[in-house]
Amino acid sequence: MKFTVPGKWILVGEHAVVRGAPAIVAPLSSRSLILEESTELEASPLQTALEKIAETLPGLSEKFSRLKVSSDIPVQAGLGSSAALSVAVARYLEAHDFLPNEEILAKAQEFENIFHGSSSGLDLAAVSASGPIFFRRGEDPKPLTCAWTPKIYLHDSGTRSSTKECVEHVANQNRKDLDQLMAMAVDGARAALRLSEAEGISLLKDAILTAAKCFEEWGLMNAESAALTEKLYRAGALAVKPTGSGNGGFLLSLWENTPPEEFRGLPGF
Ligand code: MEV
């Protein structure tokens, strides 16, 4: 039995979502993680992460010693690799009758907290969804109404960061104003996607720029992300922001027209 789970990308709403603000997020279907039984295990950061999860399930250590995890979701890049691993393991437990179906998400959240500290559950909801969702902590995610498909691409800054450290860094600043600004970006993006492309694109651009401002104010733009942002604007991007916890990882860009091939990165949609 194979458990395949996609990555995720966040349009807007990072960090403020931890404190109850909404967010918009989507599965990244071009990248996925696979969990399967195998006798040929290879050392990798994800295999180590799986061992950390296994330590919390002492009765199952033998079963877990035969589980292999492979993935093309970059690790610590903001694309949901730990959420995908957590959901895959919870689904494995459910399939083997170690977990009732209705507890899959709660168990996955326990696993993700090992890596993220106190996660909002946003990434888990995204990798479990079949399309973009509107998410608020503690509520059922709602499928997002999209009247058009924005040209959104994801680009690797080449640097990696710890979600746990970024979440703590933001929480310690206690900037309620930035949480509110991020919530406004989410409202704007949601409204923009309900309009036609011609009417919605400048509203979506403003929403992404507002979210980008939050990342800057939180001090989560490292030099590599700033340099890549500049490059994307010079190539004609309308708006650029980090996607995920920031301080490196992947950036998201919005374009009016399909960008030149070298700037297409990973397509969001
Ligand atoms: C990380 O992908 C998203 C954050 O908002 C953390 C979380 O929601 O748990 C930074």
Dump pLDDT digits (tens) for 8-23. Answer: 999 999 999 999 999 9
Q: Given a cut of 90, is residue 176 above it in pLDDT?
A: yes
CB distance 179 to ligand 1 below 6 Å: no
Of 8, 11, 18, best ligand 1 pocket probe by most atoms within 8 Å of the beta carbon:
18
Contact status, residue 102 vs residue 72, Cβ threshold 8 Å:
no
Closest ligand 1 atom to 244 CA: 2
Q: Given a cut of 90, is residue 117 above it in pLDDT?
A: no
The tens digit of pLDDT for each residue in 1-10 reads 999 999 999 9
Smallest CA separation from ligand 1 atom 10, residue: 245
Q: Tell me the pLDDT of the chain averaged across its residues.
A: 96
What distance in Å separates the CA atoms of residue 105 and residue 168, rounded to the nearest whole number? 23
What distance in Å separates the CA atoms of residue 44 and residue 33, rounded to the nearest whole number? 13
The tens digit of pLDDT for each residue in 203-246 reads 999 999 999 999 999 999 999 999 999 999 999 999 999 999 99
For residue 144, name the pLDDT band (cuts at 50, 70, 90): very high
Of 10, 115, 123, 169, best ligand 1 pocket probe by most atoms within 8 Å of the beta carbon:
123
CB distance 190 to ligand 1 below 6 Å: no
CB distance 17 to ligand 1 below 6 Å: yes
Smallest CA separation from ligand 1 atom 2, residue: 244
Residue 165 CA to ligand 1 centre (angstroms): 11
Which residue(s) pair with 250 in the sheet? 156
CB distance 244 to ligand 1 below 6 Å: yes
What distance in Å separates the CA atoms of residue 49 and residue 248, rounded to the nearest whole number? 21
pLDDT at position 179 is 98
The tens digit of pLDDT for each residue in 50-87 reads 999 999 998 999 999 999 999 999 999 999 999 999 99
Residue 228 CA to ligand 1 centre (angstroms): 22
CB distance 122 to ligand 1 below 6 Å: yes
Residue 61 CA to ligand 1 centre (angstroms): 29
Closest ligand 1 atom to 13 CA: 5
Q: Given a cut of 90, is residue 38 above it in pLDDT?
A: yes
pLDDT at position 116 is 85
Residue 9 CA to ligand 1 centre (angstroms): 11
3-state secondary structure the chain: CEEEEEEEEEEECCCHHHHCCCEEEEEEEEEEEEEEECCCCCCCHHHHHHHHHHHCCHHHHHHHCCEEEEECCCCCCCCCHHHHHHHHHHHHHHHCCCCCHHHHHHHHHHHHHHHHCCCCCHHHHHHHCCCCEEECCCCCCEECCCCCCCEEEEEECCCCCCHHHHHHHHHHHCCHHHHHHHHHHHHHHHHHHHCCHHHHHHHHHHHHHHHHHHHHHHCCCCHHHHHHHHHHHHCCCCEEEECCCCCCCEEEEEECCCCCHHHCCEECC
Residue 13 CA to ligand 1 centre (angstroms): 9
Contact status, residue 16 vs residue 179, Cβ threshold 8 Å:
yes
Closest ligand 1 atom to 246 CA: 10
Q: Given a cut of 90, is residue 118 above it in pLDDT?
A: no
pLDDT at position 169 is 96
